[in-house]
Structure 1
Amino acid sequence: MKDYSTRLDTLAQSGTSKFTNPSAELVVSGNGTDIVGNPALTKRAKRKVISQRMNLALIDIAKSKGRNERIKGYWNTYHCLKTVFTSNGKMYSSYCKNRFCTVCCAIRKAEIINKYHPVLNTWNEAYFVTLTVKSCNAKNLYKWITGMFRAFELIHWRCKKRYQRSTGIKLMGVKSLECNFNPINKTYNPHFHIIVPNEAIANLLKAEWLKQWKSDKTLFTSAKAQHSRKVEDLEHDLIEIIKYGSKIFTEPDLKKKGNSSIPPTIYVKALDNILTAMKGKRIFDRFGFNLPKESASKTTFTWLSNYEKWSFSEKHTDWINKATGEGLTGYKKPSELAFLLNNCINSDLQ
């Protein structure tokens, strides 16, 4: 398995705060990120480019809706990792930790993989399950997502009681919520991606899901909309369920996914609707098992007396040292990405 060891605790603060050291000019917390021979830094620069452009568009949407709280959150993400400090081969900065930040989501994804992969790797017959409900419009999205969480909670409770009475199997696995936007029908498709230890649990989940949503009057979902398959590549499937909660780039015509001549589109108003509907929801979670206990890690602080300051430049798509004009990662935005960010952001459809 790849090494995904990067943490979200490398926060930096200027000044000395309550920590005093006469010889230091900067106090940083966390272990920092290696900058020597670390190819992940160029990927981080790319994500920073995408995040800034996306959040400027989201800010405009939030302003048009009068959502001041969302505006504040989007600005917070826009400034995430804007200034970094380097010293002794390490990079330190502050992170917003918002789920709509492409930088923080990538780091959080790495943390989850490191934490869960060893446990899931013991599930030799693991299955990947998708549970979904009928597509809905933006107005009803929050209600449907809330209903999905409630439905899963009831299913888990029923199966737990049966297992305790020795009349059923134990329900366990990891799940995440994702939501896609269909620009043709202007509808949203919230769904759970789940990894479970075996086929029996996968079949049980699908059966209970259909039972939970069964109605003689209204079609909430159907059997053909639920899917399961055996996990062939655990790392790939674990990454699949640890997404940002929504697909940022959406094909303009869902029936022509194979047509590479049609560029994907960012439906930013729809993305704002998805993020709003998911607010306060636990996007990724486990059920039916606990992780091995870890020793509590203490936050470490370091005083830096010899460091360099770098600021992210949208023009140069890199962190620039103002004293030397040098770029930190050497990342250059490719023309394809520039075209997408400049020409393929749709602020109307939702």
Structure 2
Amino acid sequence: MSKNTQQPVKRLPRRAASSAPAFAPHSGRPLDKLAHQVTSPSVTGGAAVVEDDFRITKNAQFSAKENFGKRARVKFLTEAMAVGLANVPASKLTKSYWNTFYCSTILQKKGDSLTGKYCKNRWCLVCCRIRSAQLIKQYAPVLQSWPEKHLVTLTVPNCSGDDLAATVKQMKAGFDTIRRSWAMQHRRKQRAAPLVALRKLEATHNPDRDDYHPHFHLVVPDLASANELRVAWLSQFPSAQWKGQDVRPANAGAAHELFKYFTKLVTTQSKERFIRLAPLNVIFEAIAGQCTFQKFNIPTTKEVASDEEADALAEELNIDAVFEWVQAQADWVDKESGEMLTNYKPTPQFKKFVETKIVYNSPQKKPMNSD
């Protein structure tokens, strides 16, 4: 990655027809449907099941404005970040970043219900909040049934941005070797059970070294499985250090961390907090084509919308109001009446952060260690 210093971010003009991108806004397809590979579950092989998608099965209930005030805060940050990412030079994801810019821009209100279209991109904070909540709801009963559950972190040595995608693929291949080995031993009655786990892929950027840290977080049912998994991982990656592989009891809070974002958006350098666009783009490009959350040998069912809910989602008539996001107001606004949807007001500190701390790259960098 180039050693560019901080660069100004281009701003898209207000949503006039002449300034909109040449392509249509995102229509609400599944999360990264064309960007990650789905593995079909196998009864005997214990194959992974991709859980990167989420479904909007109900209209959002607008009975409490404070709840949508939180969503307005997230939208305020996401839109500014999306504009910056869309202006990263030569990014392969420019179109997807603009899709995020339009995410939930228009909300239709009918009674106490709101409907909108979501981009479902991994970097969209609006969509990530929804997906995280749904994953927690889906897997909370599983985690509660594991009284001795442990959190496992599996790492490899840091790599450059150019090597990040290949490193992630190597990690997943090594993990799959372990999974298949355990499944075979189980079929031969050499193990009591195949690998049972929830796994999340994460990648972070070190601004001082300008390198990247891909790693897995897993929750497994017991300490024995955790320790055995750590040993098996080090056999696959001898260059990884024992101290980098962490095993600890997983309380409810630690387990819920598994369902949060797959990278840290905010980094700290010299006691200042920034959102650095160029390193984030490197991570997002490297993760494209890789699922970030998977379950292994855990039976779960997804909620299916009822007929009444499906009818409500399809309803497009008799709309009481149409609200459009206005970044300058940090809120959705009814263009006919001027009414604001949430009356959210960002604090001066948060507004300053959004306006000044989303930067192209680190002001200063040190070369990556050769050893």
TM over 0.5: yes
Cα gap change, 1:340 to 1:169, in 2 (>3 Å): farther
Asked whether the 8 Å contact 2:84–2:277 carries over to 1, the reply is yes
**Amino acid of the residue matched to residue 280 of structure 1?**
G
CA RMSD for the aligned pairs? Answer: 1.9
Cα gap change, 1:293 to 1:101, in 2 (>3 Å): closer
**In structure 2, what is the Cα distance between the partners aligned to 1:111 and 1:295?**
13
**Amino acid of the residue matched to residue 196 of structure 1?**
V
Q: What's the TM-score, normalizing by structure 2?
A: 0.78
Between the two structures, name the one with larger relative contact order (CA 8 Å, sep ≥ 6). 2
Structure 2 counterparts to residues 207-222 of structure 1, below 5 A: 207-214=231-238, 219=239, 221-222=240-241
Q: What is the DSSP-based 3-state SS (H/G/I as helix, E as strand, rest coil) of the residue aligned with 2:68?
A: helix
Structure 2: 5+ residue stretches without partners: 1-26, 29-55, 366-371
Question: Percent identical across equivalent pairs?
Answer: 30
Could you give the per-residue CA deviations for residues 145-180 of structure 1, whole angstroms, max 9, x where no partner exists? 111111111110111111222223422110101111
Structure 2 counterparts to residues 1-350 of structure 1, below 5 A: 31-37=58-64, 39-61=66-88, 64-65=89-90, 67=91, 69-170=92-193, 171-214=195-238, 219=239, 221-232=240-251, 234=252, 236-253=253-270, 262-292=271-301, 299-300=310-311, 301-349=314-362
Structure 1: 5+ residue stretches without partners: 1-9, 12-28, 254-261
**In structure 2, what is the Cα distance between the partners aligned to 1:44 and 1:282?**
25
**Amino acid of the residue matched to residue 224 of structure 1?**
K
**Amino acid of the residue matched to residue 98 of structure 1?**
N
**In structure 2, what is the Cα distance between the partners aligned to 1:180 and 1:58?**
17
**In structure 1, what is the Cα distance between the partners aligned to 2:297 and 2:157?**
27
Cα gap change, 1:87 to 1:296, in 2 (>3 Å): closer
**Amino acid of the residue matched to residue 202 of structure 1?**
A
Asked whether the 8 Å contact 1:87–1:304 carries over to 2, the reply is no
**Amino acid of the residue matched to residue 359 of structure 2?**
N
* Displacement of 1:51: 0.7
- Count residues with an aligned counterpart: 305
* Displacement of 1:264: 1.1
What is the aligned partner in structure 1 of residue 53 from structure 2? none
Q: What's the TM-score, normalizing by structure 1?
A: 0.83
**In structure 1, what is the Cα distance between the partners aligned to 2:303 and 2:130?**
19
**In structure 2, what is the Cα distance between the partners aligned to 1:136 and 1:147?**
12
